[in-house]
Amino acid sequence: MAPDALLNRKKVDSQVANGPTQKIVDETGQQGNPVPRLQRTPTLDHCPDSYDDLEGLEYPPAMYTAMEKYLPPELLGAPRTRKLEVLDRILAKYRPNGERSRLQKHSEYRDRIRHSYQPLHQELYSLDPEKFFVQTFLDAIKDGTPEAFRRVMTEPSPGIYIFSMLQPTFCSKMLDEVEHFERWAANARIKIMRPNTMNKYGAVLDDIGMESMLDQLMSRFISPMASVLFTEVGGSSLDTHHGFVVEYSMDRDLELGFHVDDSEVTLNVCLGREFNGGELFFRGIRCDKHVNGEVRPEEVLEYSHVPGRAILHAGRHRHGAKAITSGHRINLILWCRRTSSLSLLMGEAMLREPYL
């Protein structure tokens, strides 16, 4: 899902309410019916509904499924529509100001693409491992053992893994598809919604119809590796994603500043084209409090992109991209996330309330 479709993990209303229920005020200023509170601990033996088949959800389906276990016992057996209504109202309390308007605009943007955009390479929209991936990568995934993964990878710095992944034909078609979409958007006078607040160029692949394909990429191919390589950040419980491409050239984004990703695990694969410069640089992992702290010599790594080659790292690993000096570089990036933890679903401030 796109960033706008996920709860902001930092900016959460921490107001404390009294009693077992709370009143909310909707966007018209009218006071609504009491909203049941979530339980602090989940009902572990409850089997929640799936929300994957529903369209127009404001947040990832996995979020609703995970949250359902925290509903009061009297609601666990209610129809799914009732549970969805309650969960949406609870989430509304923690939605930043203006979030509903932004989500509505994003929904309209995706609807227009879905109804009007004609893909150039329809085969990219369904995952075909034999046509997407190089054989060494497929063999490692099929084996599924830590030893098999490490045979096809290098680890030039702790927690950073490099391996060959995508076939040249796939890279070429994806580049063509991105350019085709950009031309369509320009002709239709549609302003492309960019992948994040730092990149001014590129596009969200989920928005143009590749969400299902990328979800399979994460669940079938990235998660098996992440469950072995990134256990400390929840690599075994990845269940949602944000997939996009970024572009660098002399007349587009030149570089990318020092930052961390909004993900548990990040996959970054160069698609091409010809370019010079634009190396990734890594500077170790820190907590939020010390994210701008000093760098130790053993944490310093610079990585030069090669089309088809992937780099996999924790989202919290501090990094950036040096300026491109010539040419045009496009990368496919997949932010892999988990929504199974309530602290990630709704923010730490929400958990601090005495009665959820």
Burial label, 70 (beta-carbon count in 10 A; 0-12, 13-18, 19+): buried
Which residue, 248, 235, 167, is CA-closest to 200?
A: 248
Q: What pTM value is reported for the model?
A: 0.76
Find all residues with CB under 8 Å of 199, minimum gap 6, and list them.
Answer: 246, 247, 253, 256
What are 73-93's pLDDT values in tens digits? 999 999 999 999 999 888 877
- Residue 28: pLDDT above 50? no
- 239: helix, coil or strand? coil
- Residue 31: pLDDT above 50? no
356 vs 126, residue with greater confidence:
126
Q: Enumerate the β-bridge partners of residue 269.
A: 310, 332
DSSP code of residue 210: T
Mean pLDDT of 296-306: 91
DSSP code of residue 207: G
Find all residues with CB under 8 Å of 274, minimum gap 6, and list them.
Answer: 327, 328
- The radius of gyration of the chain's CA atoms, rounded to the nearest angstrom, is 21
Mean pLDDT of 277-301: 88
Percent of the chain with pLDDT over 70: 84
Residue 127: how many CA atoms within 13 Å on its side-chain side?
13
Measured distance CA(312)–CA(332) in Å, rounded: 12
Res 237: pLDDT? 87
What are 228-237's pLDDT values in tens digits? 999 988 888 8
Res 346: pLDDT? 54
- Residue 241: pLDDT above 70? yes
Cα 192 to the chain's mean position, in Å? 18
Percent of the chain with pLDDT over 90: 60
The answer to whether the bond into 273 is cis (omega within 30° of 0) is yes
Measured distance CA(260)–CA(203) in Å, rounded: 19
pLDDT averaged over every residue in the chain: 84
Res 350: pLDDT? 47
Highest mean pLDDT among 16-30, 52-66, 336-350: 52-66
Burial label, 132 (beta-carbon count in 10 A; 0-12, 13-18, 19+): buried
Mean pLDDT of 156-161: 94
Res 22: pLDDT? 31
39 vs 131, residue with greater confidence:
131
3-state SS of 31-68 is ECCCEECCCCCCCCCCCCCCCCCCCCCCCCHHHHHHHH
Mean pLDDT of 225-229: 95
Find all residues with CB under 8 Å of 121, minimum gap 6, and list them.
Answer: 173, 174, 176, 177
The mean-pLDDT minimum among 120-129, 282-291, 317-326 falls in 282-291
